Structure 1
Amino acid sequence: MSAEAGPVHGDEPAPPLSPAPYGPVPYAPSAPPEGVQRQRLHPLTPLLESVRFLTAAAAAVGLQMFTSRNFLFAVYAAVAAAVVGGIASLIALQFRGFVIWGRELHIYGGVFTRSHRTVPLDRLQSVDLVRPLRARVFGLAQLNIEVAGGDGTDARLAYLKHDRALELRSELLSIAGRPGAAPQTAVESTEEAPAAGPAPLVPPVTVRKLAVASLLEALPVQLTALLVFGTAFAVTGSIFGFTQVATALWFGFFAPALLGYLQSTVQMVNRFLRNCRFRITRDGGNLLIERGLTDTSHETVPVDRVTAVSFDEPILWRRKDWRRVEVWTAAVAQSAAVVKSTTALPVGTPDEVSTVAAEAVPELSSVFAVEQPPRRARWRMPLRWKRTGALLDEKVFVVRHGWWVNTYAAVPYARIQSVRVVQGPIQRMQGLASVHAMTAGGVGHTATAAHRDVVEAVAMAAELRKRADAAAALEAPRLS
């Protein structure tokens, strides 16, 4: 088809066709030419990634050896596993590696099913350094690479020598034009000194304070479960007899409940270990977060991509006036199935919370006087009504919700993509409606002003859209 179209109305020619479609040029990944040498991962990578399988196999062999008392079987099994594992590792390493070509990172993997992943470094958001315990033993680390618009961690390079991982991290950030302060270059010891660089924004969280906070957060749910099961056991036992009831409850309720208790305890311990030695600093446009006792991590949060800040108040923290600060960014909350956030402060006082909040979103307050829903909505949430509300602040839209863990979510107006008003059948009878504000990239909990008066809800939605458009128009580049 020619660039000039024929006449359409009399002798007036049609306007010429555009030589290229309007809009942004679609991203077209390229591939390195044949023969480019791939950079290899560490030889121990396949073994470290299969550590759970090896642990399960070792437990099975140990159980077999204990029951049959056949020690020779254990020796044969260990030798066979070592030979098979070594051969499999050598084969896997031949097909794994990465190449930096231009402004792209190419990651290769797979033995039977080959994979070739291209990461556009122009869209790079952060490169986090993570050191699981099994990798630290051998002086190794992994890089988690996140790209704007991705779904969680877009790519992972595991494992590399610690020094090499630091060099590669700096190289990727430099290519992307997002330089960030690199974590310490010396191999970590059991008693690490703080990394040289910017001063921490808040004092370190002590081990005692973190342990007390973790225990107080998990205690209400565990005590409530104990009270429910204890009451059920006492009532049914007094009616049907304790022996018969004890057997039935053990197999029907107590055994699953015990597994739940163990899982809850493991989660509490993991949360404590993950947030030990917490340190947050500011370097240019990034928040740099270091944490971890067994598994260490060095995370980068680009301030210009923060979509929301939330403040959590577990029920037993309120007497101590403690809060936890979570920061949400556009690249790590794309999917409702895999929702992530970054803990910017595991537990802190009001002054510490205010400092971190103002660094994540400039001039953001941490104390909000939200307005409660109408009293006619109280029966819908009798325990949460006093702790539910919304506020149109000068810079952010704030919603409050929750009872066990009361949460304030503050969303900058520039990050709001769409606003909708939802009214269910019972709400319609009561003259109520809920306002939902969706953000760029999404927030783990959508900012929702629940059960507002319908006139107020419509006015709030209109004002939100007006403020969001005005704030987003001032941004360059525009995220929302």
Structure 2
Amino acid sequence: MTTLADGEWHRLHPASPLLRGGLFIVAILGFIISNLRERLLDFFFHVPTYGDDPIDELFRRGAVGWALLGVVVILVVILVAFYLSWRMHTFRVSGEVVEVRSGLVFRSNRRARLDRIQGVNIVRPFIPRLFGAAKLEVSVAGQDANVHLAYLGSAAADALRRDILHLASGARAAAALPAPASTDAAAEGEDWVEHAGTRAAGSALGPSLGSYLGTAAGGIAGGIGGFATDRAHEFFAPELDPDAAPPESVVRIPPGRLIGSVVFSGFTVFVLIAIAVLVWSVSAGGSGWLLIAIFPGLIASLSFYFNRFTKSLRYSIAGTPDGVRVGFGLLSVSNETLPPGRIHAVRVSQPLIWRPFGWWQVRINTAGHSTNKGAAGEAHTTTLPVGTLTDVARVLELILPGFDSDSGSENGRETLLVDHGVRSPGGDDGYTNAPRRAAWLRPFSWRRTGFTIAADTVLLRRGFVSRELVLVPLARLQSISIQQGPIRRMLRLAHLRVHTVAGPVIAALPVIDVREGERLFERLSAGAISSARADTSHHWADPRHPLNRAPLAPPAQPLAPVTPTAEAAL
């Protein structure tokens, strides 16, 4: 354990106000001054504008000193504001919560209970990476409820994440294995962390900045060289921490496949349609308004492709003692650890345009990031951007216990059900499928619409044009609903939905036999209650929990596979 998790209040990196937005403020201020300097000089010094450079006029009037004094006053005001912002922004990590206090005029206090943590994410934006800084984000359930620590030293952020996960796991400190870098991180923490109310021995970047500036023995040149060397090492080092995860990712995405997945997408179809409309308009001699309306959007689409490609580069996923570690990004990188039991639903999907290449995508629902909109939410809910079925099996093995990719193991049935769920056209393959009369509502996909239960997880299969398989652990299930409108009532069908936390994964079957739906409703209700009672993932490493002492006894009435009725098999 480092000094960051001692329950005392600590301050962030002294440059945090600048890294959080100060650079943008300084740039805007410089832009305003450069464009309005004539008006500013005329306002303060009554300098007439005759077409000469106002700076030359200041020299002629002898007002250079006053101008420099004004610049110094502005800089002092900015530095004082940054200092007060940093001074009032403190955090602490105790055995129960992660808490952050911030604000000078309007105070803010955020708390994240350790047993409710959904993930711990370290984000390294491009500019802070140049200074060796990183942002640590503790994800908890709720809308905009995450706790952010922006910014910490890069090594300190890694050490603090290990401490938070160690405390959240419920493991006893004496029984826990010490991380190889913990001692070094603790020593480094003494240098860069400032306790609230005391003065730090160094900056919040710690020795990574103070020692790099050089000492009398090392010299300034050696200090700058060491700083540059460490920054280069951080940029090109593997994203997975070898002390906390295997150094190799279980899945590797070739750059060619990644480019293909970005190009062969629905957005590309939209772009091609826009280009076709634009060419037709120009060739037909139409008015220029269409060119003005569409052409800028086509230019902007290039940035979309670039961002999608760079954000998915250096993708890595591996198992750790504290959950699944997922990393991605080239310029701005993100590395998140998802503790056990924090994944509420999984979707394996294949768009039609990917079918000739055999590519699949895996997305998840989590309570921390699933409600985020735009690219940020998509990045944090995508555990496999693009991969083969072998890659899908490896990812499922990490994020869902019981789905071992080794077909020769005792979990071979579950692996076979996953394979049938994504590739089988339907039939007698272990799934309870929709009856033939469902073709009136789903003429193409009714054969693939079905469900089954395995390894305390419900599997829902659907889709013909875009194939999908949704897996929901029974312990994470929140509710089940069955709906039946007038048309489905006439066809003796129903619409079933399994509710989880909000996110991109929707666990629903549009058509199902009403009798099978009622049976599934009862089985899922009973299975969810028993699985939730036996779930100990909130303290996954606590030796006092039965999960870490001995295997759990099987339930009194195990969930037997559903056998299709004669009516459903018609």
What TM-score bracket applies, with the shorter chain setting the length?
A: 0.7 to 0.9
173-182 or 305-314: which moved more? 173-182
Please point out which of 260, 271, 294 is paired with 2:331: 294
- After TM superposition, the structure 1 = structure 2 runs for residues 192-203 of structure 1, keeping only pairs within 5 Å, are 192-193=237-238, 195-196=241-242, 197-203=245-251
**Residue in structure 1 matching 2:108, options 98, 102, 115:** 115
Letter in 2 for 1:40: R
Superposed CA offset, 1:144-201 (max 9, x none): 0123x34466200001122222332233333333689799987544432564242535
Q: Deviation of residue 141 (structure 1)?
A: 0.7
Is the CA contact 1:183–1:298 (under 8 Å) kept in the aligned structure 2? no
The DSSP-based 3-state class of the residue aligned with 2:167 is helix
* Secondary structure, counterpart of 1:158 in structure 2: strand
Q: Judging changes above 3 Å, is the alpha-carbon distance between structure 1 residues 137 and 323 closer, same or farther for their aligned structure 2 residues?
A: same
Distance 1:370 1:404 in 2: 12
Alignment of 1:389 onto 2:449: yes
Going from structure 1 to structure 2, the CA distance change for 1:106 and 1:411 (only over 3 Å counts) comes to closer
Among 270, 280, 305, the alignment partner of 1:221 is 270
Aligned residue in 1 for 2:258? 210
Q: Is the 8 A contact 1:326 1:344 kept in 2?
A: yes
Task: Mark the CA change 1:153 to 1:318 in structure 2 (over 3 Å): closer, same or farther.
Answer: farther
Q: CA deviation at 1:467?
A: 3.8
Query: Does the residue aligned with 1:272 lie in a helix, a strand or coil?
Result: helix
Among 448, 454, 465, which residue is 2:525 paired with?
465
Q: What are the residue-to-residue correspondences of 1:369-384 with 2, within 5 Å?
A: 369=424
Deviation at 1:327, TM superposition (A): 3.2
Give the secondary-structure state (helix, strand or coil) at the position aligned to 2:268. helix
Which 10-residue stretch deviates more, 264-273 or 415-424? 264-273
* Structure-to-structure mapping, 1:397-416, within 5 angstroms: 397-400=458-461, 406-416=467-477
Map residues 62-73 of structure 1 onto 2, 5 A cutoff: none
1:227-306 equivalent positions in 2, closer than 5 A: 227=276, 233=281, 242=285, 245-250=286-291, 253-254=293-294, 258-259=296-297, 261=298, 264-306=301-343
2:138 and 2:147 in contact (8 A); partners too: yes
Quick one: distance in 2 between partners of 1:310 and 1:374? 24
Preserved CA contact (<8 Å) 1:128 1:144: yes
Q: Quick one: which amino acid aligns to residue 85 of structure 1?
A: I
1:112: Cα distance to partner? 2.0
RMSD: 4.0
- Say whether residues 1:164 and 2:180 are aligned partners: no
TM-score, length basis structure 1: 0.74
Structure-2 change in CA distance of 1:318 and 1:227 (3 Å): same
Structure 2: how far apart are the matches of 1:211 and 1:70? 51
Map 1:1-400 → 2, pairs under 5 A: 38-50=9-21, 51-57=23-29, 82-101=75-94, 103-147=96-140, 149-151=141-143, 154-177=146-169, 188-193=233-238, 195-196=241-242, 197-217=245-265, 218-227=267-276, 233=281, 242=285, 245-250=286-291, 253-254=293-294, 258-259=296-297, 261=298, 264-333=301-370, 341-364=380-403, 365=415, 366-367=418-419, 368=421, 369=424, 385=445, 389-395=449-455, 396-400=457-461
Which residue is equivalent to 1:434?
495
Deviation at 1:414, TM superposition (A): 3.0
Quick one: distance in 2 between partners of 1:100 and 1:132?
24
Q: Do the aligned partners of residues 286 and 80 (structure 1) sit closer, same or farther apart at CA in structure 2, a change above 3 Å counting?
A: same
Change over 3 Å in CA distance of 1:417–1:124 after alignment to 2? closer
Q: Which of the pair has the greater relative contact order for Cα pairs under 8 Å at 6+ separation? A: 2
Does the CA-based 8 Å contact 1:387-1:406 persist in structure 2? no
- Where does residue 217 of structure 2 map in the other structure? none
Partners of 2:98 and 2:331 in 1: how far apart?
30
Aligned amino acid, residue 154 of structure 1: N
Amino acid paired to 1:158:
A
Matched with 1:13 is none
Q: Distance in 2 between matches of 1:79 and 1:380?
A: 73
Contact 1:108–1:116 (8 Å) recurs in 2: yes
How far apart are 1:133 and its partner, in Å? 0.5
Q: Secondary structure at the match of 1:91?
A: helix
Separation in 1, partners of 2:234, 2:103? 34
Deviation at 1:360, TM superposition (A): 1.1
Instruction: Tell me how far apart the structure 2 counterparts of residues 401 and 59 of structure 1 sit (CA, whole Å).
Output: 55
The one-letter code matched in structure 2 to 1:468 is A
2:318/2:398 contact within 8 Å kept: no
In structure 2, relative to structure 1, the CA distance for the partners of 1:190 and 1:313 (3 Å cut) is: same
Q: Structure 2, unaligned stretches of length 5 or more?
A: 1-6, 39-50, 57-66, 172-176, 186-229, 404-414, 427-432, 540-570
Shift of 1:308: 1.7
Preserved contact between residue 373 and residue 450 of structure 1 (Cα < 8 Å): no
C-alpha distance in 2 between matches for 1:168 and 1:352: 31
Distance 2:99 2:347 in 1: 35
Matched-pair contact (CA < 8 Å) for 1:152–1:332: no
- Structure 1 regions of 5+ residues with no counterpart? 1-35
Are residues 461 and 119 of structure 1, via their aligned partners in 2, closer, same or farther at CA, if it must alter by over 3 Å? closer
Deviation at 1:140, TM superposition (A): 0.6
Q: Indicate how the Cα distance of structure 1 residues 91 and 345 shifts in structure 2: closer, same or farther if over 3 A, else same.
A: same
**3-state SS of paired residue (2:318):** strand
Cα distance between partner residues in 2 of 1:227 and 1:281: 43
The amino acid across from 2:101 in the alignment is Y
Change (3 A) 1:175 1:452: closer
> What is the identity percentage for the equivalent residue pairs of Structure 1 and Structure 2?
26
State the AA in 2 paired with 1:159: Y
Offset, 1:325: 1.9
Q: Classify the secondary structure of the residue corresponding to 1:303.
A: coil
> TM-score, length-normalised on structure 2?
0.64
Cα distance in 2 for partners of 1:104, 1:418 equals 29
- Superposition deviation, residue 80 in structure 1: 7.5
Q: One-letter code of the match for 2:150?
A: A
- Structure-2 separation of matches of 1:58 and 1:111: 25
Deviation (angstroms), 1:318 = 1.5
Task: Tell me the amino acid that sits aligned with residue 249 of structure 1.
Answer: L
